Structure 1
Amino acid sequence: MAQGKFSSQAADQLHQHSTGRRARDIVEALLQHAAIQIDGRQPWDMQVHDERLYDRVLSDGTLGLGEAWMDGWWDCAQLDEFTCRVLRAHLDRHLRIGWYALWRRFCGLLGNLQSRSRAFIVGQQHYDLGNQLYQCMLDQRMTYTCGYWAQASDLDQAQTHKLDLSCRKLGLQAGQRILDIGCGWGSFGEFAARHYGVEVVGITISREQAELARQRCQGLPVEIRLQDYRDLDERFDHIVSLGMFEHVGWKNYATYMQVVQRCLADGGLFLLHSIGGNRSLRHTDPWIDRYIFPNGGLPSIAQIGRACEPGLVMEDWHNFGADYDRTLMAWHANFERHWPQLEGQYDSRFRRMWRYYLLSCAGAFRARDIQLWQVVLSKGGVPGGYRSLR
Structure 2
Amino acid sequence: MTSQDNMSEEHLPEAAHGHGGGPVVSKDGYFADPGLPPHEHRRTDIDEKAARRAERQVAMWFLLSMLATVGFIASYVIFKPGPTHHVFIWPIGNVSPLNFALGVTLGISLFAIGAGAVHWARTLMSDEEHIAERHPIEATPEVREQVFADFRQGSKESGFGRRKLIRNTMIGAMAMVPLSAVVLFRDLGPLPEKKLDTTGWKAGMLLKNMNTGEPIQASDVQVGSLTFAMPADLSEDDEDFQERIAKDALMLVRLQPGDIKDKKSADWGYHGVLAFSKICTHVGCPISLYEQQTHHVLCPCHQSTFDLSDGARVIFGPAGHALPQLQIGVDNTGNLEALNGFTVPVGPGFWERSE
Give 1 or 2: higher helix fraction: 1
Q: TM-score range by the shorter chain?
A: under 0.3
Q: Flag the structure with larger Rg.
A: 2
TM-score, scaled to structure 2: 0.20
Return the structure number with greater relative CO, CA threshold 8 A, min gap 6: 1
TM-score, scaled to structure 1: 0.19
